[in-house]
Structure 1
Amino acid sequence: MISIFLWFGGVICMASGIEFTGTLFVFLAVSSIGYLLFFWFFNRKKQRNSSRLWSKKEIRITTTLTGLLCFIGILESYPNHPEFTSVFVLLFIYILIFSAVLIWNYYLKKKGVPTISKSVIQKLIFWSFVIGGGRTLILLEEYENNDALIIIVFIYFPLIFFLIVHWIFKQIKSILTLKNEKAKTELLHLKSQVNPHFFFNMLNNLYGWVDKDSKKAKELILKLSDMMRYSIYDGQKDVVTLEEEVAYLKNYIELHKMRYHKAISINFNLQIENEGYKVMPLLFIILLENAFKHGVENLRENAYVHVDMIARENEIHFEVENNFDPSENTEQPGIGLNNLERRLELVYPNKHSLSYTITEDVYKAQLILNQL
């Protein structure tokens, strides 16, 4: 941007007969562009951030040189081009203000107090350009310098339009990024709430099995280890394969089979027509966990849990059915289900269906994911 400004400044000066100043402007522009190309050529392998191409020292040097050029322009254009004298005076004042800001920031930094923010400096530069550019157009029109007026008009208005559009897009991007980050933070918080009481219960069971049946305790530890590894590491991913999620569900069921001392009828009907389905991790476990927590836990006999999962035609149908004791509290809108509903809203908006039905002593939950 600095190089382009210097280049057009030189072209305008030379077109208006202010040759010496125009030549210096063009020379400084070519030097700065050459520096940038030279820097890029020798540092392209390092992939250095382009926003750091100009160091603070280089900006100070360029600002000083531009100020000197404006001062020379004042002396050269007066009295032949009074309009350019006014423009150069205006630019010189702006450069002095900008230099004062840099010096003040340096002073504040030395004192260890907060400096003038980058956004404030950007606003100062923008409004200086808008006001200064408008004043320059008025001066050139008053003194009928048509050549310079045409060149500046073709630079001034498109640049203002570009800066305004850029600012609007930047604000929209900032809002979307903030919204996305908020959703991600909320999703991570929700994921961290999945299954904590199950792991605590299993650890308590393991404590009892260590002395009673060490072989069974070892089997439980291995399965629990696999589940914890999946929950901690894979559970933080955005998506996992459906096969990984199914393996997690099967481990959960096997641990419950080993845990209880009563007969339980557990069926897992699985139909996956095509491989490659990707889903959010730890999604189905909440419905399965509810079936055990509110059904199997409270029944002395004839407890059952039937699970059906069908994946086909870009859809996944997951259904869990269990019986329960009607005398117990049958309402299940706890943290787990609220957690699940919120996660579905965040990750699968308008691409899911979650429903519950209760018939006498049978509870059924159905989740459908589509457009995967």
Structure 2
Amino acid sequence: MVSIEKKYLSYFVVMILFVGSSIGMVHYKQLLESSTKAVYETYFLIFQVLFFSVIGYLLFSWMFKLIRNYRLLKNEKLEAELSLLKSKIDPHFFFNTLNNLYGLAIAKSDKTPEVIQKLSEIMRYTIYEGEKNETSLKSEINYLEEYIDIQKIRYQKNVDVQLKTDIEDDSILVAPLLFIMLVENAFKHGIESLTENSFVNIDIIQKECKVTFEVINNFELKPKITGGLGLKNLRKRLQHLYPKRHSLVLEEDENIYRAKITLLAK
């Protein structure tokens, strides 16, 4: 009981520091825009250092938890394998986003608070919701929307990203972090490889107990897309979680790539 209380107390303190430093950065940024006092710039830098220190602590805690979970693989075969196969967002996404966030803060951009909020939600969902066996389809869609919004800000070029949904019941339960890997691949192998006219179209359809998730993106013909470790892990995870109740279809047609998951919920 004491350890649980300490855990939530430390989480509460970190969240207070995170929110406080975020508010402080925004507050002194606004003061800097209306005044040239050096003291405001000093306070802004102090809150900025505090903010990135908290982010660094959260990232370290997250990575420590991943390492600890990996060690548990030796003791619990099936449970551990599923934990290993769970699609976690590439840590490079967090570091790249932090670099962009730093640039926005230096430039005193109005987008800074929005990015801070979205990054906080993504980290919370990945760390805490990702540990659960199931989550609502609504939560998974909100998570994908936050991820896409940050990616749009990250890329310094025009990108066409569409997420369309046709949902009967968004409370239906699905495995968490099941779709993110396909979205990550669409950005990594699609948008990053193209200098212009890049697009990612995402369709999520839910009818009765059936959930269909499809991602279509274009890519540069030169670096051909092949099935990597992420796709192999996704296949294994689907086999464990949805035996005989799923399909994964991957298609490539010239410079268009399609990935489609179909699930039959319980």
- Partner residue in 2 for 1:248: 143
For 1:345, the equivalent position in structure 2 comes to 239
Q: Give the drift of 1:263.
A: 1.1
Residues of 1 paired with 2:115 and 2:251: CA distance? 33
Q: Relative to structure 1, is the Cα distance of residues 339 and 366 closer, same or farther in structure 2, using a 3 angstrom cutoff?
A: same
2:250 alignment partner in structure 1: 356
Separation of aligned partners in 1, 2:116 and 2:265: 38
Distance 2:93 2:128 in 1: 17
Q: Does 1:333 find its partner at 2:222?
A: no
Q: Shift of residue 272 of structure 1?
A: 0.6
Structure with bigger helix share is 1
Partner of 1:323: 218
CA-CA distance at 1:339 after TM superposition: 2.0
Distance 1:192 1:264 in 2: 24
Contact 2:87 2:177 in 1 (8 A): no
Residue of structure 1 in register with 2:185 after alignment:
290
Residues 302, 284 of structure 1: CA spacing in aligned structure 2 closer, same or farther, 3 A cutoff?
Answer: same
Q: CA deviation at 1:371?
A: 4.2
**Partners of 1:264 and 1:296 in 2: CA distance:** 7
Structure 1 position 299 matched with structure 2 position 191 = no
Separation in structure 2 between the aligned mates of residue 220 and residue 191 of structure 1, nearest angstrom: 25
Distance 1:254 1:192 in 2: 19
* Match in the other structure for 1:215: 110
Aligned to 1:366: 260
Cα distance between partner residues in 1 of 2:181 and 2:108: 30
Q: Does the 8 Å contact 2:181/2:230 carry over to 1?
A: yes
Alpha-carbon separation, structure 1, partners of 2:163 and 2:207:
17
1:307 is paired with a residue whose SS is strand
- The C-alpha deviation readout for 1:265-287, integer Å capped at 9, x for no partner, is 11111011124310110011111
SS class of match (2:177) = coil
- Using the TM superposition, give the Cα deviation of residue 193 of structure 1 relative to its aligned residue in structure 2, in angstroms: 4.3
Task: Choose between structure 1 and 2: higher strand proportion.
Answer: 2
Q: How much does 1:333 deviate? A: 1.6
Unaligned runs of 5+ in 2: 1-72
TM-score (norm 2): 0.69
**Is 2:123 the counterpart of 1:234?**
no
Deviation at 1:321, TM superposition (A): 0.2
- 1:36-185 pair list within 5 angstroms: 181-185=76-80
The reply to whether residue 273 of structure 1 matches residue 174 of structure 2 is: no
Distance in 2, matches of 1:192 and 1:249, equals 13
* Contact 1:209 1:217 survives alignment (8 Å): yes
In structure 2, the partner of 1:259 is: 154
Amino acid at match of 1:286: M
Change (3 A) 1:300 1:191: same
Distance 1:193 1:251, change over 3 A: closer
State the Cα distance separating 1:215 from its structure 2 match.
Answer: 2.5
- Quick one: distance in 2 between partners of 1:291 and 1:318? 13
For the structure 1 residues 231 and 258, does the alpha-carbon distance in structure 2 shift closer, same or farther, using more than 3 Å as the test?
Answer: same
Aligned amino acid, residue 346 of structure 1: H
Equivalent AA in structure 2 for residue 340 of structure 1: L
In percent, how many aligned pairs have the same letter?
Answer: 47
Residue in structure 2 matched with residue 203 of structure 1 by the alignment: 98
Q: Distance in 2 between matches of 1:371 and 1:254?
A: 28
Residue 213 of structure 1, CA deviation: 3.5
SS of structure 1 residue aligned to 2:133 = coil
Instruction: Count residues with an aligned counterpart.
Output: 194
Q: Does 1:309 align with 2:196?
A: no
Distance in 2 (alpha carbons) for counterparts of 1:192 and 1:289: 10
CA distance 1:303–1:272, shift in 2 (3 Å): same
> Normalising by the residue count of structure 1, what TM-score does the alignment of the two structures yield?
0.50
Displacement of 1:288: 0.7
Aligned to 1:53: none
Matched position secondary structure for 2:195: coil
Is the 2:248–2:259 Cα contact (8 Å) retained in structure 1? yes
Contact in 2 for aligned 1:227/1:248 (Cα 8 Å): yes
Preserved CA contact (<8 Å) 1:194 1:336: no
Q: Secondary structure at the match of 1:274?
A: coil
Q: Secondary structure at the match of 2:110?
A: helix
Please give the alpha-carbon distance, in whole angstroms, between the structure 2 residues aligned to 1:279 and 1:187: 15
Larger relative contact order, structure 1 or 2 (CA cutoff 8 Å, min sep 6): 2
Give the 4+ runs in structure 1 shifted more than 6 A: none
Matched AA of 1:208: G
Pairs within 5 Å for 1:20-31: none
The SS at the match of 2:86 is: helix
